[in-house]
Amino acid sequence: MTTTPLTFIATNDLSAQTRGRSVPGAETPAALRRGVGWVPANLAIGAFGHIAEDNVFGATGDLRLMPDNEALFNIAESEERPGLSYYLADQTRPDGSPWACCPRTFARDALREFTELTGSEVVASFEHEFFLSGAEETAPFSFERFRKAEPFGSKLVELLDEVGLRPETWLPEYGEDQFEITLEPTGALAAADRAVVLRDLVRDLAERSGRKASFAPLLDPDGSGSGVHIHFSLRDAQTGAPVLHDPERPSDLAEVGAQFAAGIITHAKPLTALTACSPASYLRLSPNRWSVGGAFLGEYHREALVRICPTSTLGGGRPQHQFNLEYRAADATANPWLAVGAIVRAGMEGIKREYQPEKIWHEEDSAEELTRVPKLPTDVEDALDALRKDDIVMSWFHPDLIQTYVDVKRADLESCEGLTAKEICRKVANVY
């Protein structure tokens, strides 16, 4: 198959769906200078493909999708499909000025303000779990499952490496037909960009391989869930030195890290409205499911909202360069830019207001003690209600952006009215 590659110019919307326009390869230089046309109301498209009624944009207005040269991913030709130049773009006004409702701009602004406040840059990595159909039943974490996913697994790692996503690990997971792929840490905006592209490439490769991949939180309400754990560390903006690790403090967590984590925990409920936002998400986020059992900071604890991750000195490993915090209440129904921007802004609130975590929970703490920690919302409506009531979180967003977000999530809920939990999981899985 030999054709002139098209160029796809993309954004990721409030339902974490990649949408955009393509131009012929010969027109790419012009598109890089001038962008391509876009419409504000596109932001109001829900997960199930319909524009939310009464959205604030209506049928008026125009935008441009402006490709970012730093977010180019060249996808090679395969036997099944031609090659493609894939650009992530900012949504701008027709004159090129920023549009306040662009999710990518929201993330970039939050990261810039964080550096201005702290002198540190945010480094991040997304850890994705997903379900892959088409294999016989196999044991969790087993070599058998790993091999029966071939050649998909090897092709995926090769593809991600070719496009510059820098894969770190590929493994069979616990749930039936479940796998995990992780990418190396990088600057937080680039990490969110890579999360967008990874999901698209996994699904595309699965389809070309005669399989189906779904990043849905659950395929079945009684089954294992898939999350997106987002890892954060901080480095000095001038020297690049890690700043999150302090062996003189409890759990080796530097004061700025404790404040960052405390800000996330303080705003945990509204944050989940932005990081776990499908009708199926809260079927997964509950105690004893190895997801999140409550809003607390835990050392190594896998039911903590924020987890202090372990380090190792094996092979000359240096703990200060490995040390990171893991946010565990996200899934792939969340827009990666909104998730990163909101979590970083919550961390900034903790630093500005000098919050401190009430306690760092450890593995030896009893299950009875953990019943007293603050709980997360029980469903999307509960999370949206918490979002609307938190004036600090609401202040992070342009009113049109947050109103559209709420409208889209309510429209998704209406699309699932009357369905059983199993039917909701199936409906969401077909989208993601």
- Spatial contact of 217 and 225, defined as CB atoms under 8 Å apart: yes
Cis peptide before 151 (omega within 30 of 0): yes
- Which pLDDT does position 134 carry in this prediction? 80
Q: What is the pTM of this model?
A: 0.95
**Could you give the CA distance from residue 38 to residue 11 in angstroms, rounded to a whole number?**
10
CATH number (3.30.10.20, 1.20.870.10, 3.30.1330.10, 3.30.590.10) of 106-396 reads 3.30.590.10
Nearest in space to 230 (alpha carbons), one of 266, 260, 200 = 260
User: How much is the CA Rg of the chain, to the nearest whole Å?
Assistant: 21
- Which pLDDT does position 14 carry in this prediction? 97
Please compute, for residue 149, the number of CA atoms within 13 A of its CA located in the half-sphere on the CB side: 34
- Which pLDDT does position 292 carry in this prediction? 86
Nearest in space to 46 (alpha carbons), one of 339, 401, 411, 432 = 411
- Which pLDDT does position 68 carry in this prediction? 97
- Which pLDDT does position 344 carry in this prediction? 98
6-101: CATH architecture: Roll (3.10)
DSSP state at residue 44 = G
- Spatial contact of 303 and 292, defined as CB atoms under 8 Å apart: yes
Q: Spell out, as residue ranges, where the chain has pLDDT lower than 50.
A: none
- Which pLDDT does position 146 carry in this prediction? 93
- Which pLDDT does position 3 carry in this prediction? 63
- Which pLDDT does position 2 carry in this prediction? 54
The residues spanned by each domain of the chain are 6-101, 106-396
- Spatial contact of 83 and 75, defined as CB atoms under 8 Å apart: yes
- Write the CB contacts of 126 (distance below 8 Å, at least 6 apart in sequence): 182, 183, 191, 192, 194, 195, 198, 228, 229, 230, 231, 336
- Spatial contact of 126 and 195, defined as CB atoms under 8 Å apart: yes
